[in-house]
Amino acid sequence: MTIAESVTFSVELRERSRTMHEDAEGSSFTSALLAGELDRAGYASLVAQEWFIYVTLETVGAGLADDPIAGPFLDPRLTRLAGLEADLAFLIGADWKSRVTALPATAHYAARLREVGASWPAGYVAHHYTRFLGDLSGGQIIAAKLRKQFGFGRGEGTLSYAFPGVTSPKSVKDEYRAKLDALPLAPDERASMIDEVLHAYRLNTALFADLARAAGLPVQP
């Protein structure tokens, strides 16, 4: 067995997408938010766009519950939709749904989720992976910073980052990676899934660029 053959699929996914992941995290919008340069409305704009993404991701996922490829990843402990809706009600008001609009990049992102969900379960998993493993990792650090920055209690404003059914994020992440490693995909199918993970990060970067423009921030070329 060569060194390349001994690398697990989950490790290959992580290493191949590391640079694009860092680029997304280092966007001007994210940097400004975590540096305390955006107000509560700026944070609410992020939560609203994430709601459009997750309502699509979780709705599409419900239709794949029995799929042998995507189904095992649809852990009910990892849903974010209820938390996002509670956060939006707190941040914007009870009428939040009539006051939020999907940005162009968000609409494009959601369209891609529907496309892969309808025809390519492994492509759906690529998007599920980029969102939920990030939520369980860096998302927890972001939530703590935002609570301190805005003076939120643990029960308000950042509920979308809370996973009540998860007692050990590390264990859940390890389980998730084991499922990735066990996917019955041929080498070319794995390569296509890696390409879709990279595409997911490009879509996320485009979303942050739209958020930056809306907030009057510079956008990296």
Distances (CA, A) of 49 to 12, 100, 125, 200, 210: 29, 8, 20, 15, 10
- Percent of the chain scoring above 70 in pLDDT: 97
Question: Which pLDDT score, from 0 to 100, does residue 50 have?
Answer: 97
Rounded CA gap, 74 and 129, in Å?
11
pTM comes to 0.93
| In the chain, domain spans | 9-214
Q: What is the mean pLDDT of residues 205-211?
A: 95
Q: What digits encode the pLDDT tens for the residues 106-141?
A: 999 999 999 999 999 999 999 999 998 888 887 888
Question: Measured between alpha carbons, how far apart are the two ends of the chain, in Å?
Answer: 42
Rounded CA gap, 179 and 129, in Å?
11
**Amino acid occupying residue 24:** A
Q: What digits encode the pLDDT tens for the residues 167-204?
A: 999 999 999 999 999 999 999 999 999 999 999 999 99
9-214 belongs to which CATH class? mainly alpha
Tokens of 3: 């060194």
Tokens of 131: 């969102």
Which of 15, 78, 88 has its CA nearest to residue 49?
88
pLDDT at 54 over 50: yes
